[in-house]
Amino acid sequence: MNLAQLSLGEQGTLMLSALVLLTSFALLAQARLVACIHVFAWQGALVGLVTALVALTADTPHLYISAALTLALKALLIPWMLHRLVRRLNMHRHVETLMQPTVVLLFGAALVIFSYVVVLPVERIELAATRNILAISLAVVLVGLLMMVVRRQAVTQVIGFMSLENGLFLAAVAATRGMPLVVELGVAFDVLVAAVLFGVFFFQISESIESLNVDRLNRLSETGEDDS
Amino acid sequence: MNLSGWLLALIQTTLFVAAAPLFAAWVKALKSRLQNRRGPSLLQPYRDLHKLFHKEVMVAHTASPVFRAAPYIVFSAAILAAMVVPLVAARLPTAAIADVIVLVGFLALGRFFLALAGMDVGTSFGGMGASREMTVSSLAEPATLMAIFTLTMTAHSTNLSTVIAHNLETGLILRPSFLFAFMGLTLVALAETGRIPVDNPATHLELTMIHEAMILEYSGRHLALMEWAAQIKLMLYAVLILNIFLPWGIAADFAPGSLLLGLFAITAKLVILGAALALAETGLAKMRLFRVPQFLNLAFLLALLGMLSQVILEVGA
């Protein structure tokens, strides 16, 4: 594919989607909890921008609404909620110890290659740029999944989940010019509700095991006497 | 034509070498301003070099000839590298001699002798600095080459002039691969030139220093050459990044008008880049030495992603 043949809008869409992938990697590598939330907010903002740009280039005005919704929810509201939660749990200075950061990042790069290979046979999409965005969003989904696997901390696992959802949303916008508005509204509020529920859940976990390290949920102890 | 080309190349290299301390001074002055200090004048590095060239050279009695030869080798390697990078005009005859892989080779040559000189006298600081420098560079070099290969794949040439001319011809295309390569190369440049997240250029007193630790034993004109070489290296990375990714304004022919425009363009770009560097150095804190591999791993990852999106987006599909 020759990039020079695409219009500037499509080039911009590709570029912004690549940046979304970059923020995914930043999430994967970031050990500080608060910084992680900030990166997640940036990712939401970028996804919102992609949506707006697609709305502009493909002339689908209803996408403006979902762009605004994404921006409001994923770039502002949910990060703010997570931020407040982390503050209330008194974890805003928390630095997670990552396991094998180098290996995890290289594994993430391998996932990117994998998703490109998977998307390669997809031919019947009218825009050449779309396939690449599809590949990128698949990679974002997989990297989000990877983040949920390798992180031990409940908050970062939830952020991984949310970034996975960002990837799905990106795919929907790029491949189908957005889902019907009703579906999009439903998904957006689903995510919001999920964020609220996760918040409650964090409190429960941290009250019962006095930590948000989910590895400790594996341990069975009735009285907690020899918890060494 | 050919003779004037060589003459121009000579002038350009001289200009490069002469302007390098000025660029370093510009960054330093801005940084001081940002930290509410007055800062040295822009001519201070020249005065320092002048002073050092007139001072007596003291050499430790344990030093071998390598120690005496190293400053000259490091400095010449820096000049040779500066010759290859187009500053004002692309398509100069010197650019045809060596491509970008040789450029990385010149830098590696300089670094090798710098590290040797650091270890030569046998002080603990020198050895420590040399070992750190080699750690950093062994991680930075793959990232540099990966980022540069991303660029050269687009232009189908490893010659810097050709790459720049190709970028000029195609005009503005938003390439994800270039963005990744740009970020990767910027991180590498910060590490290689010993700027703030990796090394602090303004201190002789930290246990974590890298570059300063290696040249601690030098004095007089040897020290001057070493410092000048470091300034050339900083300018070299700055010009490399600017002219590859934002080549607009660089002279494609040797007409006086376009040369003037090229000079003006690169000056303006360097002024802005220097400001950005000063801003970044003021905002960031130096990171622990043990986190440097992680930093460079990120650079490598960015370069790798750039390469991947290059291969997949533009070659493969």
pLDDT at A228: 45
Q: Do A105 and B312 touch (CB under 8 A)?
A: no
pLDDT at A125: 57
Sorted by where each begins, the domain ranges of chain B are 2-316
Sign of the alpha-carbon torsion through B36, B42, B47, B52 = positive
Q: What is the ipTM of this complex?
A: 0.76
pLDDT at A224: 52
Please name the member of A1, A29, A131 whose beta carbon is closest to the beta carbon of B298: A29
pLDDT of A164 > 50? The answer is yes
A65: in domain: yes
Q: Is A57 within 8 Å of chain B by CB?
A: no
Residues in chain A: 228
Token reading at A155: 């908050």
Rounded distance, CA B305 to CA B317, Å? 16
B143 vs A214 pLDDT, higher one: B143
Residue B257 neighbours by CB under 8 Å, 6+ apart: none
CA B163-B169-B171 angle, to 5 degrees, is 105
pLDDT of B226 > 50? The answer is yes
| Mean pLDDT of all residues in B201-223 | 84
| Mean pLDDT of all residues in A55-61 | 82
A26: in domain: yes
What pTM was estimated for this model as a whole?
0.85
Determine the distance in angstroms separating the CA of B174 from the nearest CA of chain A, rounded to an integer: 6
Determine the distance in angstroms separating the CA of B287 from the nearest CA of chain A, rounded to an integer: 14
pLDDT of B228 > 60? The answer is yes
Work out how many domains chain A is built from and give that number.
1
Q: Do A22 and B304 touch (CB under 8 A)?
A: no
Task: Name the band, by pLDDT with cuts 50, 70 and 90, for residue B76.
Answer: very high
> Could you give the count of Cα atoms lying within 13 Å of A23 in the half-sphere of its Cβ?
27
Q: Is B315 within 8 Å of chain A by CB?
A: no
Mean pLDDT (chain A, rounded): 82
Q: Is A123 exposed, middle or buried (0-12, 13-18, 19+ CB in 10 A)?
A: exposed
A19: in domain: yes
A90: in domain: yes
pLDDT of B230 > 60? The answer is yes
Rounded distance, CA A111 to CA B305, Å? 11
Q: Do B294 and A12 touch (CB under 8 A)?
A: no
Task: Name the band, by pLDDT with cuts 50, 70 and 90, for residue B317.
Answer: very low
Best of A13, A95, A99, A105 to disrupt the B interface by mutation (most B CBs within 10 Å)?
Answer: A105
Rounded distance, CA B187 to CA B182, Å? 9
Token reading at A40: 């997640």
Q: Is B312 within 8 Å of chain A by CB?
A: yes
Q: Do A113 and B313 touch (CB under 8 A)?
A: no
Structure confidence by residue, pLDDT tens digits, B94-126: 777 788 889 999 999 999 999 999 999 888 888
Structure confidence by residue, pLDDT tens digits, B43-53: 999 999 999 99
Which among A47, A8, A6 is positioned nearest to A163, based on CA atoms? A47
Window 157-186 of B, Cβ < 8 Å to A: 170, 173-176, 179-180, 183
pLDDT of B69 > 80? The answer is yes
Residue identified by tokens 């949303």 is A169
Structure confidence by residue, pLDDT tens digits, B234-281: 999 999 999 988 888 888 777 888 888 989 999 999 999 999 999 998
Cβ-contact A151, A191 below 8 angstroms: no
Mean pLDDT (chain B, rounded): 88
A227: in domain: no
The lowest-confidence range among B44-53, B127-136, B280-289 is B280-289
Structure confidence by residue, pLDDT tens digits, A167-192: 988 888 877 776 777 777 888 788 88
A180: in domain: yes
Structure confidence by residue, pLDDT tens digits, A104-113: 888 998 998 8
Determine the distance in angstroms separating the CA of B48 from the nearest CA of chain A, rounded to an integer: 42
Report the residue of chain B nearest A133, measured CA to CA. B313
CA B17-B18-B20 angle, to 5 degrees, is 65
Residues of A in contact with B174 (CB under 8 A): 3, 8, 11-12, 14-15
Centre a 10 Å sphere on the Cβ of residue B255 and count the other Cβ atoms it contains.
11
Task: Name the band, by pLDDT with cuts 50, 70 and 90, for residue A214.
Answer: confident
Structure confidence by residue, pLDDT tens digits, A189-204: 888 888 888 888 887 8
Which among B280, B268, B270, B200 is positioned nearest to B235, based on CA atoms? B270
Token reading at B297: 């791993």
A223: in domain: no
Q: Do A18 and B180 touch (CB under 8 A)?
A: yes
Cβ-contact B193, B234 below 8 angstroms: yes
Rounded distance, CA A134 to CA A128, Å? 11
Structure confidence by residue, pLDDT tens digits, A105-143: 889 989 988 888 888 777 655 555 677 788 889 999 999
A169 vs B171 pLDDT, higher one: A169
> Could you give the count of Cα atoms lying within 13 Å of B148 in the half-sphere of its Cβ?
22
pLDDT of A215 > 80? The answer is no
Residues in chain B: 317
Q: Is B309 within 8 Å of chain A by CB?
A: yes
A56: in domain: yes
Quote the domain boundaries for residue A39: 8-213
Dihedral of CA atoms A58, A61, A67, A73 in degrees, nearest 10, equals -160
B34 vs A218 pLDDT, higher one: B34
Rounded distance, CA A53 to CA A16, Å? 9
> Could you give the count of Cα atoms lying within 13 Å of B229 in the half-sphere of its Cβ?
29
Rounded distance, CA B245 to CA A47, Å? 25
Q: Do A3 and B298 touch (CB under 8 A)?
A: no
Q: Do A8 and B297 touch (CB under 8 A)?
A: no
CA A65-A70-A74 angle, to 5 degrees, is 160
Q: Do A3 and B173 touch (CB under 8 A)?
A: yes
Determine the distance in angstroms separating the CA of B192 from the nearest CA of chain A, rounded to an integer: 20
High-pLDDT (> 70) share of chain B, %: 97
Rounded distance, CA A169 to CA A141, Å? 10
The lowest-confidence range among B139-143, B283-287, B301-305 is B283-287
The lowest-confidence range among B89-93, B141-145, B210-214, B242-246 is B89-93
Q: Do B317 and A120 touch (CB under 8 A)?
A: yes
pLDDT at A33: 87
pLDDT at B275: 94
Task: Name the band, by pLDDT with cuts 50, 70 and 90, for residue A15.
Answer: confident
Q: Is B41 within 8 Å of chain A by CB?
A: no
pLDDT at A54: 86
Rounded distance, CA B91 to CA B72, Å? 28
